[in-house]
Amino acid sequence: MTALDEQIHQAVTAALNPGPLQSEATNFLQELRSNPKHSWEHGLICFLAIDKYTPQTRLFGLQLVDAMLTSHQQDQACYQTTREQLWDYIQRQFINGDGEQALPYLRNKLVQTIFLLFFQSYPNSWPDFFKDFARLIRQDPQHLNPRTTDLYLRLLHEISSELSDALLRINKSPERLAKDAELRDAVRQHDAASIAQETFTIVAESLQTLNQTSPATPSAQESLEMGIRVVEDYASWIDISLIVTPTWIPFLFQSLQLPHLNIRLAATDALICIVTKGMPPNNRIELYNLLGLVELLNTLKTKNHQLRQSGEWSDDQDNQFNERLARILNGMGLELCKVCDDNSVPPDLQAASLALATQLLPLLLSFLQDDVFSSCLPFTSALLSRYKKDKKLVPASHLTQEKRSFLSQLLPLIVIKLRYPSDDLFQWEPPALPGETEDEDMVLHHDRRRQLKNIIDAIAVIDESLFQETIDPLILNVLDHISNKSNLSWQEVELALVMLYNYGEAVRGSGPTSIRSYVIIPPEEIKKHNKNKDYKINYSQYPLSSLGNLLLKASKALVTKFPHPSIAVQWFECVTRYHEFFEIFPGAIQDVLPAFLDDRGLHHPDCNIRYRCCYLFYRFVLQGNQPSKLTSTYMVGKPSSIN
């Protein structure tokens, strides 16, 4: 009778090749996987038979071992047998062999299987788990074994990911989460210090090898990158004092200066993890000052720009690294803002945190000018939230000259990011019909606009006059030049209309726009109306507000004649939002109606635009206090059927 390991090999071969036996072979393999009690040993034989069986058969054999290790059908002897045979295999293949270098997926599967052994046996039956693997990393006292070093680092990464990764936790049972927490505690108590020390040693020796050899040794690059990644893994859940040491920090900063992008990215990711790790406020401020992060970010950003200018780095490489630097800044800023907002923190620490956050502002403005600006938006929002609270606490003196200077630089940077990209980078699409899937690029752009709008609204709450001083000229400049055949792009015109659309919410703190938003009404008139609701204010006799002036000018500018479909749609959005303006200034309607009713609106050749305009027209009419009057005014035009 054919041995089971041979049957497994035949079944794997049949299952991978279409034919009459494929279904039967698949069912057979599934049955073995579902009941590994009697098949796991043969699976282990398949995996260990390097010269006899194909990689596919060996992979399935290891899957049977995994099934045994995760089932409730095993006993201690199963673990012991698996541990001993895999240990012998590691001795042969990783110390004396090639370490499965040609089969990376098989090497990764082995790491997963070793983790399952760790999960079931550490710290009780295998207390020296980490020490045993650490002893394998040297081929002699002076040199690392690249194969066992790779295995050790991959294993450390796998253990940290399985025990602490937030995404993996989502689908774990309460029992598994409790076991993970128990193992993390055991690692912290028994092995965290030695793991950090061994990893630092690997990083140090890999750095030394890279600095002494040219061209760089691939194995040294890989070991350095993986070593830094492991430090990042464990920094999130072991004592930070084991990571931030006089030994490790110089290694990290040296790695940030290397020309190898993958290593620099790993180093920045580790730094992000360190600066965002939970810790007491006084420790956080001390850490940030110790690391000198403000100066470091300035230096790295400058060097990054130089590499791009010299052609040593491509635009993509520049953006990847710049994005990581922006995330470090964002992480620092968010954590400092949390300290400022925590009422349990002593005032002196809150002041120190705010002072340190203020030092980040020039860097923040610099990153907001780049393509990676979105990585800094959370910090920007948190900082403005702090400023808004300051205004509530001390409304008379909250706006210092330093704050206003920062906001005056910030607002134009944020506004310009609202603009659509150029036509060679972006294709505008009309609003999707109900049931249609909106264009992915449009969705992303709209999501980003919502974030940016919240920031602009916050600035308007903090300093409304600054908002008006910045936004009014932007809108007026477009309205002044739109009809004289200037070189305005459709992106500039659309941006002006978007800012007009958002204007009312911004100056009223996101509240509803009312008739009083369009005119400047004397306080005594408002008092009369409040005392007597029947008292009618004659709004037309009072001067227009900033918003009223902008709407009047826009209605006279005939913006819908601009040759791009987005412009008319956005103008109709404005008309619908500010419908009350046209009730108190009905003369302005005569410049709006023709566009709403002709082929720029309800009769537009594009079905999606036509649908949106029909909806906006419906809302515009029904929102009015005198719908019948509005309707008759509209129909003075040239009514016809709407297709």
- Which tens digit of pLDDT belongs to each residue from 116-148? 999 999 999 999 999 999 999 987 778 899 999
The count of structural domains within the chain is 2
* Domain finish residue from 81, 102, 123: 102
- Which residues of the chain have a pLDDT value below 70? 1, 73-74, 214-216, 485, 509-513, 624-643
In a domain, 578, yes or no: yes
* Domain finish residue from 53, 83, 102: 102
Query: Distance between CA atoms of 562 and 568, rounded to whole angstroms?
Result: 8
* Domain finish residue from 102, 126, 153: 102
In a domain, 75, yes or no: yes
In a domain, 513, yes or no: yes
In the prediction, which pLDDT does 188 show? 96
In the prediction, which pLDDT does 634 show? 47
CB distance 265 to 324 below 8 Å: yes
CB distance 258 to 185 below 8 Å: no
In the prediction, which pLDDT does 624 show? 65
In the prediction, which pLDDT does 642 show? 40
In a domain, 141, yes or no: no
In the prediction, which pLDDT does 82 show? 93
Predicted confidence (pLDDT) per residue in 249-268, tens digit: 999 999 998 888 999 999 99
CB distance 155 to 199 below 8 Å: no
Which CA distances in Å does 394 have to 19, 247, 346, 390, 560?
80, 46, 19, 6, 45
Give the chain's count of helices (H) and strands (E). Answer: 31, 2
Query: Distance between CA atoms of 381 and 456, rounded to whole angstroms?
Result: 10
- DSSP state for residue 214 in the 8-state scheme: S
Q: Which two tokens stand for residue 177?
A: 């989460």
β 143-144/138-140 pair status: antiparallel
In the prediction, which pLDDT does 325 show? 95
Q: What ranges in 292-343 are assigned the alpha helix state H?
A: 293-310, 315-341
In a domain, 156, yes or no: no
In a domain, 413, yes or no: no
In a domain, 13, yes or no: yes
In a domain, 274, yes or no: no
In the prediction, which pLDDT does 280 show? 92
Taking the alpha carbons at both ends of the chain, their separation in whole angstroms is 78
Domain extent for 20: 1-102
Query: Distance between CA atoms of 589 and 635, rounded to whole angstroms?
Result: 12
